[in-house]
Amino acid sequence: MWNARHLARVQYAVALGIALSSAALGVGCSADRAFQPSNSEVTVQDLSFIGLPTPIEFETYENSHQVVHPSTVAFAQPWHGQRFWLALTPYPNGDSHVENPSLYGSATGDSWTVPAGVVNPVAKTTRGYLSDPELSYDPTADELRLYYREVVQVYHRREKPKHKADIVYLTRSTDGVHWSPAQALTNDVGHFVVSPTVARRAEGDWKMWAVDAGHAGCTSSSTRIILRRSVDGVIWSVPTTVAFSQPGYLPWHLDVQYVPEQGMYWALVAAYRAGTACTASSLFLATSTDGEHWTTYASPVLARGAIPEFSTNVYRSTFTFEPNGNDLTIWLTGAKTVKSGDHRRPPVLRWSAAVWHTRADALLEHVHRLRSAPVTPDSEPSFLRRLASENALP
């Protein structure tokens, strides 16, 4: 008799084998095929004892179903018809022109629809694109808050647009349908400040973290996590640098939440190996009692290549805990590289999402285990290096 753990391991091995075999043979539903460079650094993890991610789909407003950068708020009881609210952006094959915050609701967290009355996208811009949505809830005002980053670009004739500034905006809603005019909160000029994430620990105690990637952005050889403080989630302090180190890796995107049942902050951090670029990130866990001093762990929550859908990278992901403080759900996004059947067309990154039901104790055991993986200083193919150099990632 197979027990659940053995069955899950077999199912995962079979699925992974079929996916990799199909990629190698170029078979599938279309002429496109998954592509994995032979010298890439990828890791096959045994995920069976903590559960397996399951692919999920979102109906995007431009019909691509390719999504990135989720942020979730969970309620003990449905709030305006939805127990879970989630914000993300479409990102079809890396097209930032449609990268705008969009909202979804769910009763279970496993399947998502656009709530009645919501019109996606919630916000748009003509100066660049809107990325990195962050959804939060203020119980005092009983309102959802949507923070997002506007990437302001400068255009010079036929040249590629150049990055000018990152501005964080806030819009609010008391029903999830009607949203206030956007309010600019922070403005970072001349360097990349990405993935703002907000947590309210208590009344008057709001924190906003982000990753400062300097002037280089996606190809930066040094990044840092910065922290701003606020008493209302609107007016923010100047940033300070937190104590965070994931040996051998640089943080790129993150989601931070305060977990009251555990009395600490948890963070999921998409980080890339030093010497590569943000196109090759894996997902790590970090914990903190004060939001400033962080404990990191030996192994990733999910390494790039651990599942076929995320063979190129595991990107910004989000999570919620159940009231027991141990059961949790993680919503993942990431990408695989796909080559067209037409050799004249360049490869693209195909983005997707997955849901992962697991437990905090099992996850902590998982990330404590030190694993070795082959190290290749330059593990991206040429087109991924080009994407990185152009900062063409969300």
| Residue 272, beta-bridge partner list | 250, 281
- The 10s digit of each residue's pLDDT in 131-171 is 999 999 999 999 999 999 999 988 887 788 888 999 999 99
Domain ranges of the chain: 4-389
Query: Domain 4-389: which CATH class?
Result: mainly beta
Structure pTM? 0.87
Residue pLDDT, tens place only, 51-67: 889 999 999 999 999 99
Residue 333: the pLDDT is 98
Of the pLDDT bands very low, low, confident and very high (cuts 50, 70, 90), residue 377 is: very low
For residues 217, 35, 130, 354, the Cα torsion angle rounded to the nearest 10 degrees is -110
- pLDDT tens string 82-130: 999 999 999 999 999 999 999 999 999 999 999 999 999 999 998 889 9
> Which among 103, 190, 101 is positioned nearest to 149, based on CA atoms?
101
Nearest to 334 by CA among 360, 365, 300: 300
Looking up tokens 């040429």 gives 382
CA-CA-CA-CA torsion sign (324, 327, 331, 334):
positive
CA angle (285 as vertex; 305, 324 as ends), nearest 5: 115
